[in-house]
Structure 1
């Protein structure tokens, strides 16, 4: 995990100019028609910015855990302060819902309270599951399924609302799993930027798209990282179904940031500039 921590620390040295020089090719969904099949991916609007999220159930949205913490104060956002806008496109959405409650892994909550920012466990548990106030119908958006971990070399794609493309959905269609780290952290050669936090990483199975991971962090070399999902998602589903699933605000809570508390750079620890 030392390599992973060093790679994530590179976030702090990445400037907007360096991002602009990226060679990544994106399919930008400029028209409403381009969103066909992607309606379940949406923009998660937060009190101080936005992330990307995706439906994995009629009332369940998957994103990154650090998205639900205020980047300045480190305090968890109240659920009702978040809105999921499915198929967001130039100011309008196919449908939108307020968030009713959310859950993150217990291990992530511990790291947030401790301020352990450079641990690989931060990336390994950087997942949040949000329950919407009302379900979204299948006529509006069809949820995606979560996929088990495939082997390195498997082709993947990332769909997100990135900086400079925050009003339209865009897809990087051609990247792959480069490495599997300890604690089931996956490395990708996908190029991510502000707004890509929580973006679904897709893999194709039997000609159907499944969510393999969510974007947690990235660096100046075009590398990105995300956690394995099945066990974490199962845990969070159970927590949301319990009476005590609502997040508890504590005075010691701090936001996890890879490499420190700076808001500069790209990847997992970012909100709208």
Structure 2
């Protein structure tokens, strides 16, 4: 995978700019306004980052729904969303009841550009989060080349609190993929990438992967504009898990599927 990401970076042909340092959001004051970003604990063995875009919907990366060893979809019921997780506590805890990945996403695709382009998923929570301190974020169209963006993420070496990286930049937009100067690491998969509209942060992409060249890292993100419309349609067409009580994952796992193997990802 690392080799494929380097190949993708070289194909795009851009030299990354140096990104700003990460700022840890360890206190309540630091994390205020970012509570809708949370850690995804996956089958107690792996983690990703996800973000509320509705009281019961979490946006993340599609590859977080797959087991690296078996290369099969995992049971979404093994995923727990910890909103605003910080120093051993979360603002809200919810299990995932239902998951939808982009129908064109292929975990084993040999084409890294196509895989990143469709690497987005929606998770429906077992119960909505209705808390005045946890406000879902809205989404927006992708920013232009050169635009400044922020990323809020968890990672393997900072799993106990989120980190904010301000003003990394969009280096390119190719094949519906954003190439960013942001610093991401394992666990940051699915992390929201924010642009600001009238001072208000809106999600314009999610972290899919990382690449490198010349010893510097870049992040690769999925353009949300078209893929998110597809996911919302898929989610709307699915039977209500609140009525049926049986979580399903469309485009990957049949209803009632359960798998015990944990997920361990080499992607961010």
Calculate the TM-score normalised by the size of structure 1: 0.81
> Within 5 A, what are the aligned runs for 1:42-121?
42-47=38-43, 48-108=45-105, 111-112=106-107, 115-121=108-114
Greater strand content = 2
Counterpart residue number, 1:17: none
SS at match of 1:71: coil
Q: Is the 8 A contact 1:99 1:130 kept in 2?
A: yes
Could you say if the C-alpha distance between residues 231 and 23 of structure 1 is closer, same or farther in structure 2, counting changes exceeding 3 Å? closer
Counterpart residue number, 1:134: 127
Q: Is the 8 A contact 1:28 1:168 kept in 2?
A: yes
Between the aligned partners of 2:88 and 2:9, the Cα distance in structure 1 is 32
SS at match of 1:106: coil
1:175 pairs with 163, 168, 172, which one? 168
Q: Is the 8 A contact 1:95 1:140 kept in 2?
A: no
Are residue 229 (structure 1) and residue 224 (structure 2) matched?
Answer: yes
Q: Is the 8 A contact 2:190 2:207 kept in 1?
A: yes
Between the aligned partners of 2:238 and 2:218, the Cα distance in structure 1 is 39
Using the TM superposition, give the Cα deviation of residue 24 of structure 1 relative to its aligned residue in structure 2, in angstroms: 4.4
1:26 pairs with 14, 22, 25, which one? 22
Using the TM superposition, give the Cα deviation of residue 96 of structure 1 relative to its aligned residue in structure 2, in angstroms: 1.0
SS at match of 2:150: strand
Between the aligned partners of 1:57 and 1:23, the Cα distance in structure 2 is 30
The superposition leaves residues 191-210 of structure 1 with CA deviations (integer Å, 9 ceiling, x where unpaired) of 11111110000001111000
Between the aligned partners of 1:88 and 1:149, the Cα distance in structure 2 is 27
Between the aligned partners of 2:200 and 2:98, the Cα distance in structure 1 is 29
Q: Is the 8 A contact 2:8 2:112 kept in 1?
A: no
Residue ranges of structure 2 left out of the alignment (5+ in a row) = 11-17, 240-247, 255-263
Counterpart residue number, 1:246: 249
| Equivalenced residues, count | 237
Measured on the aligned residues, the alpha-carbon RMSD in Å equals 2.3
Further displaced range: 238-247 or 28-37 = 238-247
SS at match of 1:152: coil
SS at match of 1:236: helix
Using the TM superposition, give the Cα deviation of residue 31 of structure 1 relative to its aligned residue in structure 2, in angstroms: 1.2
Q: Is the 8 A contact 1:103 1:240 kept in 2?
A: yes
